[in-house]
Structure 1
Amino acid sequence: MRALALVTFLATLVAGLAPAQAEKRVFILNSNADAYGIDRCLASGDRCGTAMATALCRQHDFKHAVSFRKVDRDEITGTVPVRASGCRGAACDDFVAIECSR
């Protein structure tokens, strides 16, 4: 009986020492929302988008941006608004996924 209690205690102790999984969340943004050009940095994944991605994460109470990149419409689950005139080539809005971590 003592051996079982000891094994249970040790298993609980080892499980408690395992690294905690960081909470992550992905935010999807319309990358053509403004005329500042930062949207191009986010969509291309260039370093110039790091400050913007980090600022967005911090605004939502996350510590930093893990990654950011352009996403296709078919990668997004749920509804994506379509312009009344239709979506063709350069007239389509691009979307950016920003992954944040606590």
Structure 2
Amino acid sequence: MSALLACVGLLAASAASADSRVFIIANQPDGYGVDQCLARGDKCGAHAARSYCQSRDFDQASSYRRIDPDEITGSVPKAGANCNHAGCDEYVAITCQR
């Protein structure tokens, strides 16, 4: 019986650790450099990515990087639509985990 409980516990732990989600957000340069850190995947973006994940009830950010609009399936607005600055067609993917 204890072996069965151990297996159930391991399966539950695996399912809990596998709970992750990728968020695609527009990279909007704001002059502070945080967006550029995220887009380049630099270490300086780790805090911003973690904060983003925590604001959505996740524990941590396991990765973050710039992605091309071609990598995104679904609707992505055309560059320049409702945008008046450079970089409107740039996106960042942040992978959050519980």
TM range (shorter): 0.7 to 0.9
Residue 16, structure 1, aligned to residue 12, structure 2: no
Q: How does 1:2-81 map to 2 (within 5 A)?
A: 12-18=4-10, 19-21=13-15, 22=17, 23-32=19-28, 34-81=30-77
Instruction: Output the aligned Cα RMSD.
Output: 2.2
> Using a 3 Å threshold, how does the CA distance of structure 1 residues 56 and 84 change in structure 2: closer, same or farther?
closer
TM-score (norm 1): 0.75
In terms of Rg, which structure is larger?
1
* Counterpart-to-counterpart distance in 1, 2:20 and 2:70: 22
| Secondary structure of the structure 2 residue equivalent to 1:77 | coil
Instruction: Give the equivalent residue in structure 2 for 1:5.
Output: none
Instruction: Give the equivalent residue in structure 2 for 1:6.
Output: none
Fraction of identical pairs, as percent: 46
Deviation at 1:59, TM superposition (A): 0.1
Name the stretch that deviates more: 44-53 or 18-27. Answer: 18-27
Q: For structure 2, which runs of at least 5 residues remain unmatched after alignment?
A: none
**1:24-82 deviation per Cα after TM superposition (whole angstroms, max 9, x unaligned):** 00011111253322111001000000000000000000000000001111111111111
TM-score (norm 2): 0.78
* Counterpart-to-counterpart distance in 2, 1:92 and 1:27: 17
Q: For structure 1, which runs of at least 5 residues remain unmatched after alignment?
A: 1-8
* Counterpart-to-counterpart distance in 2, 1:84 and 1:20: 43
Aligned residues: 90
